Amino acid sequence: MTSLTRADVAAMIDHTLLAPEATPDQVNDLIAEARELGVYAICVSPSMLPVRAPGLVVATVAGFPSGKHHSLIKGAEARLAVDSGAAEVDMVIDVGAAVAGDFAAVLTDIITVREAVEDRAVLKVIIESAALTDEAIVGACRAAEKAGADFVKTSTGFHPAGGASVHAVRLMADTVGGRLGVKASGGIRTAQDAAAMIEAGATRLGLSKSAVVLDGFPD
């Protein structure tokens, strides 16, 4: 962890507020804190868009948190979010399709969203890794790559199975082989957690406790 500086890690963070009870004032506080911390992006619910966040990348979610939305609804939600200023979209796959081994359905789901936003936004694909077997993690990551996604992402942070794990991040990173980014999200609350995810291959971190995590890294 000593080789990672505070600035190194901040440049990888999506500072996140996706609580259903989040208010506009809390989003404004998130933006102010993100600017103070020097993080890469903020991630907010699509209903909170548009937001004014100069100097920050604005990310949002689609099909969140269950993934059990029709693909066309996810695509429409993502397109509307991009029209409202989002530069990145984190979509949730149909996790049940991955559990069932129906990776053709997972592929179609992701392609629908990719085509809806075209090349106007970075597309991250949330696979809910804690709910999947290793085989299903690999299958979902391969589908994401084939569909033209830019990142694979571990978790929504809302699933009872849990959030990111070092094992899942390493498996995801090995599967995409540097061709896609890997976002670790869900349950990362300390500098030690973050460092372990980065060492395993994470290239982006989804954090709601960014200040606490960053305080554990040297300047």
Catalytic residues: 90, 153, 183
- Between strands 41-44 and 181-185, the pairing is unpaired
Give the whole-angstrom CA distance, residue 17 versus residue 198: 21
Check if the beta carbon of residue 96 is closer than 8 Å to that of residue 68.
Answer: yes
Check if the beta carbon of residue 16 is closer than 8 Å to that of residue 206.
Answer: yes
Check if the beta carbon of residue 155 is closer than 8 Å to that of residue 185.
Answer: yes
Give the whole-angstrom CA distance, residue 40 versus residue 211: 13
